[in-house]
Amino acid sequence: MDSKIHTVSASPNIAFIKYWGKRDHKLTLPFNSSVSMTLENPMLKTITSVKLSEKMKEDEIYINGNKIDSKDQRFNYMLGVIEQMRSKAKSDSKALVVSKNMFPTGSGLASSASGAAALSYALNSAFGLDMEPRELSKIARQVSGSGSRSIFGGFVVWHKGSIADGSDSYSEQIAPKSHWDELIDIICMVDSSRKKVSSTEGHELTARTSALFKSRIDFAENGAISSIQAIKSKDFQSLAQNIMRDSNNMHAVMLDSWPPIIYLNSSSLQAISVISELNESEGKYVAAYTFDAGPNPHIITTKANEHKVIEALDSVEGIKDKITGVVGDGPSMLDESESLIKD
């Protein structure tokens, strides 16, 4: 075991078919397969450095300069994968993990996917395990479900799997970014004063209380199959409809939860309206809206239509900023100069 510092950069992804509801909480196993595009933009990265040490008494994790302790839910998920990797490597070393998100503070953008992917990748390197990406996607999955998809670049499917131990719930690439590099995600950061339900709580609440959730599972699974086909054939019309319908469907089962989970706000509703009107006036889909567990509109469109979409979004109140993500690569190793750990 060396004491080198292993630093990885990873990107988030935007789900075209969403992951919501866990059939196994401990292993982070989903009810349905999900499909995403990995996003590239310098402002959207997470960088994670890992250093192993035989002198440390326990694993230590720092995120954005703050030490994460065992009271933090993230700690236990991250510790779990550190322990798995250590055991696989037959190592006794403790890990120092330092992670930093480039995301603008208060942007409401989730860093859990890129963070989970960067951590898994960096641990793999630090423990000298040389695991296949597919295996790493199962590791990342245990920290953050959507992180499983950020192990790959381009277009990615996370297979729901059916085995209880999670061994068949992994991600794989549908197509590399070069396959359809015209696609972009215009992320609109909006004001949000609403009290947040954490996505961990939300996953559980919906699966337990929504009377409609059981119908979502088949719908999303079919949406995943259809979206994979649409990506392979670069069929934006089919993909756009799948994207919007799945987002609406997920937010519907959220609204049907008790108490209801309402992430969409006035700006979100306006963005839905504006994009629907744009598509109507164009006589075809030129853009698709989608919303994760938050109010920020993600508008999936093509580079050719970017200007048109941004113009349309001008009338939406409450957008503080926009970041455009292009189709990106999976995690990459950074050299020593970019390490977050100073020896």
The residues that touch its own copies, with contacts defined as CB under 8 A, are: 194, 211-212, 214-216, 218-219, 241, 244-245, 248-249, 251-253, 255-256, 258-260, 262, 264-266, 269, 272-273, 276
Displacement of CA 83 from its chain's centroid (Å): 23
Min CB(258)–its own copies separation in Å = 6
Displacement of CA 258 from its chain's centroid (Å): 25
Partners of residue 34 on adjacent β-strands: 158
Partners of residue 106 on adjacent β-strands: none
- By beta-carbon proximity to its own copies, the closer residue of 184 and 287 is 287
Distance CA 162, CA 171 (A): 14
Are the beta carbons of 171 and 149 closer than 8 angstroms?
yes
Min CB(36)–its own copies separation in Å = 21
Min CB(325)–its own copies separation in Å = 25
- By beta-carbon proximity to its own copies, the closer residue of 15 and 81 is 15
- By beta-carbon proximity to its own copies, the closer residue of 164 and 211 is 211
Min CB(114)–its own copies separation in Å = 29
Min CB(175)–its own copies separation in Å = 26
Min CB(14)–its own copies separation in Å = 19
Distance CA 11, CA 43 (A): 10
Burial state string for 131-168 with b = 16 or more CB within 10 A and e = fewer than 16 = bebebbbbbbbbbbbbbbbbbbbbbbbbbbbeeeebee
Q: What is the dihedral of CA 215, 219, 221, 225, to 10 degrees?
A: 170
